[in-house]
């Protein structure tokens, strides 16, 4: 295909540039290293030597037009080749040439959304502080002029000792320069009882030392694209999906043992509890396909594939990468995949394709020490399983109180497609699989 | 225990390390045939020959660079500056080569070198020959900086410096070369980065190093006569700094004074005051004070020089001030 | 010793004798190395224009024959100490284009882990000993390497490169003074590319012939205009062997030309009219290419195929660098101090 010549960045501070003059014309044969244009940068006008060779098919940039770095300025290729295909494929760069809008439509949806959110963002960010600011700023300015507000000179250790022994600095005569209360003064006061306990000096605006409480203004964080998506989808979930919740306790002793044996015996394997949870959920869905379902206006969609979404907390929000056909994957393969997805999610390197099309989700806050919680069903799915930490706790076995590793799992269901008994059966299978985890290795 | 002058302790340290390790050599102006401008290398040429005791022309940048280049090849050079004032013309070599080589080469090269010589004001040498370089070198990541005040410390720390795999700046004092102190016959090393309590006390912490150590001990003695019990900490190493020793003492006494040769602006004293206020704020009973050079170029005239250099009386006055006396 | 001339020659002059006397195999080998350097730097320049490389990027384009020629003349253990214009030397010494390109982009896979950038290429085992960015301050250091070689009697030679712009600064004089005084096994090579940054040498050098200084340092001298890598190998080879066998230092001046500005942001407006074109016609790379065609019967197509292959190699290096990870944040704490003695040497 033809080669796009981009507007080069010719200095470290250059952000845009101008083709001041062309030294080539359409049809010329250009060699690598040949001067093809004069480029005006923020620093100088420089000769631009071509990195590419070929026949000039098209000069895209008009001389004098201000273009961003990376914008296509010319197209080289073989004699008679059509430059439009290469130009269309180049897409991304903001073209300053004759068709500025053309490539925009071909961008990935995510990119379009990004650009839109970037344009839309400033408005709310600007409007909000005007509303919020006056209400909160007032108390800080109107700090009361009481006697407690007068600064009492005292050395840091004198302050600390007074605080620790419940003495009020205002009751202690300072012997240091400018009447500074020093360590010896507090010690004398403590011994002689001359410093009064700081009663009466409490108020709603100051602390016991007369220091005003500090009020800080609200800050508005302009929403990122991710934050907007979360907001939109969660409102949709809460408003449109009739939720109900089922919680079950799972004994994880056998699962923990299996996990440590697996990790010790297979090189490079690091199966997590979450991997076991996903594997068990996938296997349970295979047995209860009526839970692998979502609502649509045409009727309940019985999903053919078991594609499990895995909620991953990332900076600024969360994303839900998808493990496809999870029930068909070995634990080791699944574990490798969740680790890879998790890492790339945190690095924000996931392809949008990897975050769409799940039929069921798992959310785990166990690593934060959460015992149990209820998650919200992702629109497009019928249920989500929320799991808490695996922790030692009391259990009754054969009438005896014993300590077991326990984990609580809560299934949130869309009542339009899943009823209580359906969810309960799923959970019972899920629990049985984890309590006898060898069953995860049994086919069917 | 035998009593040695500091210059003899330094010479013995070099001699012992050269005997121990044939990668060690010394170069600088007058180190060989002249036996050292301050006689710190006396007898070394006779013992080790011209290959390992290398006289140089007056080219500080040249021989500092040669030392660095040789250290990168695995030798263990000791570069003597006749005074650290002359290190100013070799500053780029120390700053941009010695301190950075290990980092810049991603660990492929190391620079085990010692730059040593007298530092700070001696007596009536004028402004260009009376400067303390502590802050200049302690500022630089990649260097270690040592400043010694006794024969015992000089020998033990110089031996450690020569064996250290990093570039080390080693400050001595022209006016203290003749001071005597006990040095054991058997071999010993003093670890780099450990301060030494030269006098323990309960009321005020006096942090000092180098040429100000004897002055500070004198001030502590004067304070004791006034019933003020001063703890004198000799830092010995300025980088890495023994912060723990300083903080421990300040938490005990609640008061601190820093006394040193050097200008106040951005000096090592400023760094120490910063650490105290940050780490031990709630233990302080008074602002921390510094006694150092006045913020001026050093004049030649004796009376003016005496005012600028921190004296025992000046240090005593600061000790009293922080003690609310 | 030839008399050097700075006047550009007309196109298609006779091929230099050094090329005429060289075999097809070695001519091709050195041509290939020169072309690798050129294409590496062109790809790097393109990456800079795409914003993938920042900071300084000093290109060696036009001077490649020197790096390739000297590398051919070196033995194992010999080392090059160079300036910030160091990419060519590293590649000529066999450093991987991937690691070099990754260094330019500040990546963890770079030749020094991304801490050095363009100006600090080091590969100890390959004899690429820097990579120094303060003009002239490597000259005493190189003397120190030579001092250590002599001290340890190991027979290694240090070849220290400097630009004509480094001739005025103090460390150059001090380092050469000691190298001459102590008769160290070193070769100092001045790559005279006619400009110290943007100022022509007529306005920076008190004498035209830099090698007149050799007498003052008690060194041997050599001076020539670079024509091709074989010539560089031969001329520097003599100086290197003299250093190795006699501990006799040499000051060499090579008259060369850089086709690019001082760095990427330099438009090089200071050049005289026609100067660049005249020097381009004597580009050692092109001259060597002519030798391959005229003396060894290589076809234009074959040479183009070689060019494409090398261009692919360097473009792949760009991709490698682009896809390489940044250094770990914790990496910033590395290599400021050696904590453990066993890490030294």
Tokens of C29: 């080998």
| Lookup: tokens for C113 | 């882990």
Phi, psi of A264 (to 5 degrees): -80, -25
Strands (E), chain B: 3-5, 24-28, 53-55, 76-80, 114-118, 144-147, 168-172, 180-182, 196-199, 204-208, 230-234, 237-239, 256-259, 289-291
Q: Identify the pLDDT of residue C269.
A: 79
Residues of chain B in contact with residue C121, where contact means CB-CB under 8 angstroms, are none
Share of chain A above pLDDT 70, in %: 81
Do the chains contact at C337 and B144, CB–CB below 8 Å? yes
Residue B300 has phi, psi (to 5 degrees) of -80, -40
Q: Is A303 exposed, middle or buried (0-12, 13-18, 19+ CB in 10 A)?
A: buried
How large is the ipTM?
Answer: 0.94
Which chains reach chain A with 3 or more Cβ–Cβ distances below 8 angstroms? B, C
* Complete edge-to-edge strand list for the sheet that includes strand B204-208: B196-199, B230-234, B204-208, B256-259, B289-291
Tell me: the pLDDT tens digits for C77-101?
999 999 999 999 999 999 999 999 9
**Residues recorded for chain A:** 444
Which residues does chain A have within 8 Å of residue B324's beta carbon, measured at their own beta carbons?
175-177, 182, 184
Do the Cβ atoms of C201 and C195 come closer than 8 Å?
A: yes
Taking residues A246-251, report their average pLDDT.
96
Average pLDDT over residues B273-292: 95
Question: Among C64, C267, C281, which would you mutate to test the A interface (most chain A Cβ atoms within 10 Å of its Cβ)?
Answer: C267
Q: What is the end-to-end Cα distance of chain B in Å, rounded?
A: 41
Which residues 62-91 of chain A have a CB within 8 Å of chain C? 69-70
Interface test with A, best of C35, C43, C49 (most A CBs within 10 A): C49
Residues from chain A contacting residue C48 (CB–CB below 8 Å): 8-9
Q: Does C306 touch chain A (CB under 8 A)?
A: no
Sign of CA dihedral B36, B38, B41, B45: positive
Q: State the DSSP H helix or E strand holding residue A38, giving kind and residue range, or none if neither.
A: strand A35-40
Chain A interface includes C84 (CB < 8 A):
no
**DSSP string for B1-23:** --EEEHHHHHHHHHHHHHHH-TT
Highest CATH level, class, for B3-182: alpha beta
The pLDDT of B128-153, averaged and rounded, is: 98
Confidence of residue A217 (pLDDT cuts 50, 70, 90): confident
Q: Is the CB of residue A8 less than 8 Å away from at least one CB of chain C?
A: yes
Residue appearing with tokens 């620790």 = A164
Identify the helix (H) or strand (E) that includes residue B33: none
Is residue B104 over pLDDT 90?
Answer: yes
Segment among A50-59, A207-216, C79-88, C303-312 with least mean pLDDT: A207-216
Task: Answer for the pair B110, C181: CB distance below 8 angstroms, yes or no.
Answer: no
3-state SS track over chain C: CCCCCCCCCCCCCCCCHHHHCCCHHHHHHHHHHHHHHHHHHHHHHHHHHCCCCCCCCCCCCCCHHHHHHHHHHCCCCCEEEECCCCHHHHHHCCCCHHHHHHHHCCCCCCCCCCCCCCCCCEEHHHCEEEECCCCCCHHHHHHHHHHHHHHHCCCCCEEEEEEHHHCCCHHHHHHHHHHHHCCCCEEEEEEECCEECCEEHHHCCCCCCHHHHHHHCCCEEEEEECCCHHHHHHHHHHHHHHHHHHCCCEEEEEECCCCCCCCCCCCCCCCCCCHHHHHHCCCHHHHHHHHHHHCCCCCHHHHHHHHHHHHHHHHHHHHHHHHCCCCCHHHHHCCCCCCCHHHCC
End-to-end CA distance of chain A: 50
Q: How far is B112 from chain C (nearest CA, A)?
A: 8
Min mean pLDDT across A155-159, B161-165, C259-263 is at C259-263
Q: How confident is the model at residue A208 (pLDDT cuts 50, 70, 90)?
A: low
On chain A, the residues whose CB falls within 8 A of the CB of B322 are none
Q: Which two tokens stand for residue B190?
A: 């003093």
Using a CB–CB cutoff of 8 Å, tell me whether A348 touches chain C.
no
Strands A16-22 and A66-68: antiparallel
Look up the pTM and report it: 0.69
> Which residue, among C186, C174, C189, has the nearest Cα to C147 in the 3D structure?
C186
Percent of chain B surpassing pLDDT 70: 100
Question: Which of B66, B141, B166 lies at the smallest CB-CB distance from C144?
Answer: B66
Predicted confidence at residue A65, as pLDDT, reads: 85
Pair A73, A83: CB distance under 8 Å: no
Active site residue A415: yes
As a dihedral over the C-alpha atoms of residue B182, residue B187, residue B189, residue B195, rounded to 10 degrees, the angle is -20
Strand partners, A46: A39
What span, in angstroms and rounded, lies between the C-alpha atoms of A329 and A322? 13
Secondary structure class of A353 (helix, strand, coil): helix
Q: How far apart are CA C73 and CA C236, in angstroms?
A: 7
- Of A400, A401, A399, A397, the C-alpha closest to A435 is A397
> Of the spans A236-240, B162-166, C274-278, which averages the highest pLDDT?
B162-166
In this complex, which chains have at least 3 CB pairs below 8 Å with chain C? A, B
DSSP one-letter string for B45-109 = HHHH-TTTEEE--S-HHHHHHHHHHHHHTT-EEEEEPSSGGGGGGGHHIIIIIITTHHHHTTTS-
Instruction: Please tell me whether residue A423 adopts helix, strand or coil conformation.
Output: helix
User: d(Cα A246, Cα B320) in Å, to the nearest integer?
Assistant: 74
Instruction: Write down the CATH number for the domain with range C30-321.
Output: 3.40.50.970
pLDDT of res. A204: 60
Element (H, E) at A302: strand A299-302
High-pLDDT (> 90) share of chain A, %: 43
CA gap A16, C55 in Å, rounded: 18
- Calculate how close chain A gets to B198, using CA atoms only, in Å: 26
CA distances from A352 to A110, A345, A349 (A): 7, 11, 9
3-state secondary structure (DSSP) of residue B181: strand
DSSP secondary-structure letter at A43? S
* Residue A125 reports pLDDT greater than 80: no
- Residue C48 in contact with partner chain A when CB distance is under 8 A: yes
Of C45, C55, C269, the CB nearest to A12: C55
Banded model confidence at residue A209, pLDDT cuts 50, 70, 90: low
Among chain C residues, the shortest Cα distance to A69 is held by C50
Q: What percent of chain B has pLDDT over 90?
A: 99
Alpha carbon distance A40, A42 (integer Å): 7
What count of other Cβ atoms lies within 10 Å of the Cβ of residue C84?
A: 22
Query: Which 3 state secondary structure label does DSSP give A153?
Result: coil
pLDDT of residue C11: 52
**CB neighbour class for A373 (10 Å; exposed up to 12, middle 13-18, buried from 19):** middle
* A233 dihedral zone (left: phi>0; alpha: psi -120 to 50; beta): alpha
Pick the catalytic residue: B17, B29, B60, B271? B60
As a whole number of angstroms, the distance between CA A109 and CA C50 comes to 25
Residue among B201, B194, B178 at smallest CA distance from B236: B194
**Residue pair B207/B244 in contact by the 8 Å Cβ criterion:** no
Residue C343 CA to residue B280 CA, distance in Å, equals 36
Element (H, E) at B160: helix B151-163
The residue among B108, B110, B164 with the most chain C CBs within 10 A of its CB, best to mutate, is B108
Question: Reduced to 3 states, what is the DSSP secondary structure of residue A164?
Answer: helix
Query: What does the mean pLDDT of chain B come to?
Result: 97
Higher-pLDDT residue of A299, C268: A299
CB A93 within 8 A of CB A70: yes
Mean local confidence (pLDDT), A55-84: 89
Q: What is the nearest CA distance from A65 to chain C, expressed in angstroms?
A: 18
- Residue C174 has a pLDDT of 98
Identical fold for domains B3-182 and B196-322, yes or no, is yes
The pLDDT value recorded for residue B217 is: 98
- Whether B283 has its CB under 8 Å from any CB of chain A: the answer is yes
- Determine the 3-state secondary structure of A172 from DSSP: coil
Along chain C (345 residues), what's the average pLDDT of each consecutive run of 10 residues?
A: 44 83 96 97 93 90 95 97 96 98 97 96 97 96 98 97 94 98 98 83 88 97 96 98 97 90 77 80 93 95 95 97 96 91 52
DSSP 8-class letter at A223: P
Residue A97: what pLDDT? Answer: 39
A292 and A276 Cβ atoms separated by less than 8 Å: no
Q: What is the mean pLDDT of the segment spanning B128-137?
A: 97
- pLDDT bracket for residue B177 (50, 70, 90): very high
Cβ-in-10-Å burial (0-12, 13-18, 19+) of A367 comes to exposed
From chain C, the residues in CB contact with A45 under 8 A are 267
CB pairs under 8 A between A and B: 28
Rounded mean pLDDT, B260-285: 95
**How far off is chain A from B97, nearest CA to CA, in Å?**
26
- The per-residue pLDDT for B64 is 98
* CATH top class, domain B196-322: alpha beta
- B279 in reach of chain A (CB within 8 A): no
A-chain residues within 8 Å CB-CB of C43? 51
The candidate with the shortest Cα–Cα distance to C106, out of C115, C98, C97, is: C115
Nearest CA in chain C to B68: C141
Cβ–Cβ gap C116/B105 under 8 Å: yes
| A9 with C43: Cβ contact below 8 A | no
Window 143-162 of C: residues touching B by CB (8 A cutoff) are: 143-149, 151-152
Going by the DSSP 8-state scheme, the letter that residue A61 receives in this structure is S
| Domain residue extents for chain C | 30-321
Domain segments of chain B: what residues?
A: 3-182, 196-322
β-pair partners for A411: A246, A385
How high does pLDDT run on average in chain A? 81
| Region class of B266: left (phi > 0), else alpha (psi between -120 and 50), else beta | left
**pLDDT in the model for residue A205:** 63
């Amino acid at each position: 295909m033809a080669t796009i010549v981009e507007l080069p960045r010719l200095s470290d501070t250059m952000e845009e540039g101008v083709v001041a003059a062309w030294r080539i014309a359409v049809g010329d044969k250009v060699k690598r290293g040949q001067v093809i244009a004069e480029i005006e940068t923020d620093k100088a006008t420089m000769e631009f030597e071509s990195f590419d060779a070929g026949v000039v098919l098209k000069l895209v940039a008009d001389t004098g037009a201000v273009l961003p770095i990376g914008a296509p300025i010319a197209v080289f290729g073989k004699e008679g080749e059509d430059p439009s295909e290469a130009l269309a494929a180049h897409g991304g760069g903001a073209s300053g040439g004759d068709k500025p809008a053309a490539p925009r439509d071909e961008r990935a949806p995510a990119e379009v959304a990004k650009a839109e959110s970037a344009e839309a963002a400033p408005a709310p960010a600007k409007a909000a502080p005007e509303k919020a600011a006056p209400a909160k700023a007032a108390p800080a300015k109107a700090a009361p002029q009481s006697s407690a507000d007068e600064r009492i000179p005292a050395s840091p250790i004198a302050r600390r000792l007074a605080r620790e022994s419940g003495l009020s600095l205002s009751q202690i005569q300072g012997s240091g320069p400018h009447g500074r209360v020093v360590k010896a003064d507090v010690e004398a006061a403590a011994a002689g009882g001359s410093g009064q306990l700081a009663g009466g000096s409490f108020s709603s605006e100051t602390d016991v030392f007369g220091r005003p409480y500090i009020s800080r203004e609200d800050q508005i964080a302009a929403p990122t694209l991710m934050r907007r998506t979360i907001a939109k989808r969660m409102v949709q979930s809460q408003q449109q999906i009739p939720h109900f919740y089922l919680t079950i306790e799972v004994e994880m002793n056998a699962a923990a043992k299996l996990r440590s044996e697996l990790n010790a015996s297979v090189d490079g394997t690091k199966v997590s509890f979450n991997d076991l949870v996903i594997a068990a959920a996938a296997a349970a869905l295979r047995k209860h396909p009526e839970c692998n379902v979502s609502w649509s206006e045409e009727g309940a969609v019985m999903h053919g594939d078991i594609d499990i979404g895995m909620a991953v907390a990332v900076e600024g929000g969360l994303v839900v990468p998808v493990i496809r056909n999870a029930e068909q994957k070995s634990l080791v393969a699944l574990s490798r995949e969740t680790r890879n997805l998790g890492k790339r999610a945190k690095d924000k390197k996931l392809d949008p394709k990897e975050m769409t099309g799940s039929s069921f989700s798992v959310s785990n806050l166990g690593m934060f020490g959460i015992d149990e919680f209820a998650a919200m069903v992702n629109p497009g799915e019928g249920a989500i399983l929320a799991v808490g930490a695996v922790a030692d706790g009391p259990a009754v076995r054969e009438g005896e109180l014993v300590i077991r590793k326990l984990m609580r799992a809560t299934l949130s269901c869309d009542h339009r497609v899943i009823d209580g008994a359906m969810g309960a059966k799923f959970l019972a299978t899920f629990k049985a699989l984890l309590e006898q985890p060898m069953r995860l290795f049994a086919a069917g | 225990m035998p009593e040695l002058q500091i210059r003899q302790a330094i010479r013995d340290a070099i001699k012992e390390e050269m005997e121990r390790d044939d990668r060690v050599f010394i170069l600088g102006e007058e180190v060989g045939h002249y036996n050292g401008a301050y006689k710190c290398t006396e007898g070394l040429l006779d013992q080790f020959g011209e290959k390992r005791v290398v006289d140089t022309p007056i080219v500080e940048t040249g021989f500092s660079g040669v030392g660095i280049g040789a250290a990168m090849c695995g030798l263990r050079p000791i570069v003597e500056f006749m005074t650290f004032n002359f290190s100013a013309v070799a500053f780029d070599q120390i700053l941009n080569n010695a301190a950075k080589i290990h980092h810049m080469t991603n660990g492929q090269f190391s620079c085990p070198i010692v730059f040593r010589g007298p530092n700070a004001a001696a007596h009536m040498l004028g402004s260009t020959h009376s400067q303390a370089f502590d802050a200049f070198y302690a500022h630089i990541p990649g260097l270690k900086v040592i400043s010694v005040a006794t024969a015992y410390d000089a020998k033990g720390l110089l031996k450690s410096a020569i064996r250290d795999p990093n570039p080390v700046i080693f400050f001595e004092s022209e006016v203290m070369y003749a001071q005597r102190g006990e040095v054991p016959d058997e071999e010993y090393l003093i670890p780099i980065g450990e301060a030494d309590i030269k006098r323990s006390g309960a009321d005020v912490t006096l942090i000092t190093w180098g040429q100000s150590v004897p002055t500070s001990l004198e001030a502590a003695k004067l304070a004791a006569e006034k019933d003020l019990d001063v703890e004198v900490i000799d830092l010995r190493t300025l980088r890495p700094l023994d912060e723990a020793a300083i903080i421990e003492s300040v938490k005990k006494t609640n008061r601190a004074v820093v006394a040193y040769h050097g200008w106040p602006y951005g000096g090592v004293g400023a760094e120490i005051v910063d650490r105290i206020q940050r780490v031990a704020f709630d233990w302080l009973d008074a602002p921390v004070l510094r006694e150092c050079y006045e913020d001026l170029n050093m004049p030649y005239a004796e009376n003016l020089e005496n005012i600028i250099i921190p004296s025992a009386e000046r240090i005593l006055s600061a000790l009293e001030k922080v003690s609310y006396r | 010793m030839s008399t050097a001339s700075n006047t550009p020659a007309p196109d298609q002059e006779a091929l230099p004798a050094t090329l005429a006397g060289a075999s097809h195999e070695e001519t091709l080998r050195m041509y290939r190395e020169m072309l690798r350097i050129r294409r590496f730097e062109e790809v790097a320049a393109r990456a800079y224009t795409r914003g993938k490389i920042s900071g300084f990027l000093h290109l060696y384009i036009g001077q490649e024959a020197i790096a390739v020629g000297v590398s051919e003349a070196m033995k194992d253990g010999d080392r090059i100490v160079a300036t910030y214009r160091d990419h060519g030397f590293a590649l000529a010494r066999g450093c991987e284009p991937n690691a070099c390109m990754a260094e330019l982009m500040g990546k963890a896979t770079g030749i020094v882990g991304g801490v050095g950038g363009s100006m600090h290429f080091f590969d100890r085992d390959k004899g690429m000993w820097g990579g120094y960015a303060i003009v002239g301050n490597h000259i005493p250091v190189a003397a120190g390497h030579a001092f250590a070689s002599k001290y340890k009697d190991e027979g290694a030679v240090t070849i220290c490169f400097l630009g004509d712009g480094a001739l005025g600064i103090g460390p150059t004089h001090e380092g050469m003074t000691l190298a001459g005084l102590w008769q160290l096994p070193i070769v100092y090579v001045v790559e005279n590319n006619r400009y110290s940054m943007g100022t022509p040498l007529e306005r920076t050098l008190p004498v035209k012939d830099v090698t007149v200084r050799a007498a003052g340092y008690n060194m041997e001298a050599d001076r020539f205009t670079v024509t091709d890598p074989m010539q560089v190998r031969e001329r520097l080879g003599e100086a290197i062997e003299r250093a190795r066998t006699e501990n006799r230092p040499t000051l060499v001046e090579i008259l060369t030309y850089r086709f690019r500005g001082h760095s990427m942001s330099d438009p090089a407006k200071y050049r005289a009219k026609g100067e660049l074109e005249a020097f381009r016609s004597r580009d050692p790379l092109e001259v060597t290419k002519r030798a391959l065609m005229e003396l060894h019967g290589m076809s234009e197509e074959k040479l183009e195929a070689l060019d494409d292959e090398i261009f692919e190699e360097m473009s792949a290096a760009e991709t490698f660098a682009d896809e390489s990870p940044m250094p770990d944040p914790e990496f910033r704490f590395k290599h400021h101090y050696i904590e453990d003695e066993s890490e030294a040497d």
